[in-house]
A and B are shown apart, each in its own frame.
Chain A
Amino acid sequence: EVQLVESGGGLVQPGGSLRLSCVASGFTFSTYAMSWVRQAPGKGLEWVSSISGDGAKTYYADSVKGRFTISRDNSKNTLYLQMNSLRAEDTAVYYCAKFGVPAAMGSYFDCWGQGTLVTVSS
């Protein structure tokens, strides 16, 4: 069974940093691209970032480009999101999501974690 478990969320002050983790199991992690998607309280889904299976290619939404960094450690089956220069508008539940098609960046997301809440406030 595919499982994605996020951690690392919490309360952080504006301008601060946080690193999210997502531990994957139940599939060959390195074969699949992964993504982070966030959802502000009471709002819709917003794609944040994606990374290829080998970690060589990364993509970011304009809203986080230059502040967030996605990475992965395939030896640990773990996806990361390093978030710097955090703003109030980054407050959201952050989900990690698995791509549905192996070795492809043009894919939907077929499995999601339960999410971790990030609150940016003084």
Chain B
Amino acid sequence: DIQMTQSPSTLSASVGDRVTITCRASQSISSWLAWYQQKPGKAPKLLIYKASSLESGVPSRFSGSGSGTEFTLTISSLQPDDFATYYCQRYNSYSWTFGQGTKVEIK
């Protein structure tokens, strides 16, 4: 089975920082990758799909890139509302595996 690995597991940053989270697949998944944001006690929220497509209503400071086995989620200028845990997810070949998550903390 294809494994999804995120790095780092935890990231400390300040408001206004540019933040990048990486997700690696153990085999190529083309562009079948989504990113989600989850806050404590809440359901996940879709941010990005097909590696780089921004979900409607999501602020433009969020962007995704990559294809094949390496993907990134970038927050161009971190806002107070962005402190949360972020997950990548592959969705191909009848498998919907998540990465282990990256927690973005206040520095």
Asked if B19 CB lies within 8 Å of chain A CBs, one says no
Q: How many A-B residue pairs have CB under 8 A?
A: 59
Within 8 A of A (CB), among B77-107: 87, 89, 91-101
Asked if A115 CB lies within 8 Å of chain B CBs, one says yes
Contacts of B93 in A (CB 8 A): 106
Range of interface residues on B (Cβ < 8 Å): 20 to 34
Give the total of A residues in contact with B, Cβ under 8 Å: 21
Asked if A113 CB lies within 8 Å of chain B CBs, one says yes
Asked if B71 CB lies within 8 Å of chain A CBs, one says no
Asked if A11 CB lies within 8 Å of chain B CBs, one says no
Asked if B49 CB lies within 8 Å of chain A CBs, one says yes
Asked if A55 CB lies within 8 Å of chain B CBs, one says no
Complex Cα–Cα for A105 and B92 (A):
8
User: Is the Cβ of A46 less than 8 Å from the Cβ of B98?
Assistant: yes
Interface residues of chain B, those whose CB is within 8 Å of chain A, are 32, 34, 36, 38, 43-46, 49-50, 55, 87, 89, 91-101
- A sample of 15 cross-chain residue pairs with beta-carbon separation below 8 angstroms, ordered by A number, consists of A44-B87, A44-B99, A45-B36, A45-B98, A45-B101, A47-B96, A59-B94, A95-B43, A106-B91, A108-B89, A109-B44, A110-B46, A112-B45, A114-B43, A115-B43
